[in-house]
Amino acid sequence: MYDVTALGEILIDFTPYGSSEGGRALFEQNPGGAPANVLAALQNLGQKTAVIGKVGDDMHGKLLKETLEKCGVETKGMIVDPDYFTTLAFVALKNGERSFSFARKPGADTQLREDEVDTEILKNTRIFHCGSLSLTDEPARSATFYAIRCAKEAGALISYDPNYRALLWSSREEAKEQMRSVIPYVDIMKISDEETELLTGVESPEAAAGELIRQGVACAVVTLGKDGALLRTKDFMVQAKGAEREVVDTTGAGDSFWGGILSRFAYYNVKPGDLTEAQGLEFVRFANVVAGLCVEKRGGIPAMPALEEVMKQL
């Protein structure tokens, strides 16, 4: 039994690493992709995880598979396809904040088919997690909904982090339609304070979380940047602010935070509807520390903290 299985983009983040002697930008090859980052965080926090997705049969795909295996993530659901190239994301950093350019036309992650989804993994997982980047193109969109249905039928909790990337959608309206289409299936959901209007139609984080609850999400979390995060259920709402940090790189910050939240659900084996206010506050505080430690290092997967580091700071 896996604590968490994630489906979606597994890619390489090329992050700035100074300049060459000729003054041209140098980039560092960092394994990443939101679902992969979440799984790496969970493994470091003591959970058992598996990945479902697709990479190319190239140097980047091989590195991604090796990296996840080194983290302890089960990769038997990860397809290596010689017909497509591994998706690449080039990241620009300014004051620790990121902007993106993608090489994904198409990327291997968009080409996962329904018949390639490992249903045995989905039948043996407590939590199934996905984002919205697998919804941008077919056949990955249909494969994502197929996996959600399989996991839900097997009794898994459904976790969703939309992770909006404007460049990967043909329009904001298409993004809004597709990203919202998953919400009726979701038990646990995270959005950022920049995504509230896009996903719910209201801007206030508190109101946005309430709207998600109204639509059937049992536990809604809104991240608030330096102000931490709030967590809401039908019974209560809590908010906790993280500690001041020396920010080196925000890559994977939201993913590490969500890995922290999911790790607590898995550790306590609690349903979101049964969550107490004290547990909700504990979950957010724990996840804030995970994310805080992550932004103090470079990269996504390499920056995920170990459970011992988190507990020491708590």
What's the order of all strands across the beta sheet hosting 157-161?
74-81, 49-56, 2-7, 125-131, 157-161, 188-192, 219-223, 229-232, 237-240
In Å, what is the CA distance from 312 to each residue of 105, 278, 307?
44, 20, 9
Q: In sequence order, which residues have a C-beta less than 8 Å from that of residue 239 and are 6 or more positions away?
A: 224, 228, 229, 230, 231, 284
| Contact status, residue 96 vs residue 126, Cβ threshold 8 Å | no
pLDDT in tens, 250-306: 778 999 999 999 999 999 999 999 999 999 999 999 999 999 999 888 778 889 999
Which regions in the chain score pLDDT beneath 70?
A: 96-97
The pLDDT value recorded for residue 251 is 79
Residue 304: phi and psi, rounded to 5, are: -70, 125
Amino acid at 307: L
Q: What does the angle CA 303 – CA 69 – CA 63 come to, to the nearest 5 degrees?
A: 75
User: Among all chains, which residue has been given the structure tokens 């996905």?
Assistant: 130
Q: Could you give the domains of the chain?
A: 1-8+31-82+106-310 (3.40.1190.20)
Q: What does the angle CA 239 – CA 244 – CA 247 come to, to the nearest 5 degrees?
A: 115
- Tell me how far apart the terminal alpha carbons of the chain are, to the nearest angstrom: 29
The pLDDT value recorded for residue 96 is 59
Indicate the SS3 state at residue 59: helix
pTM metric for this prediction = 0.95
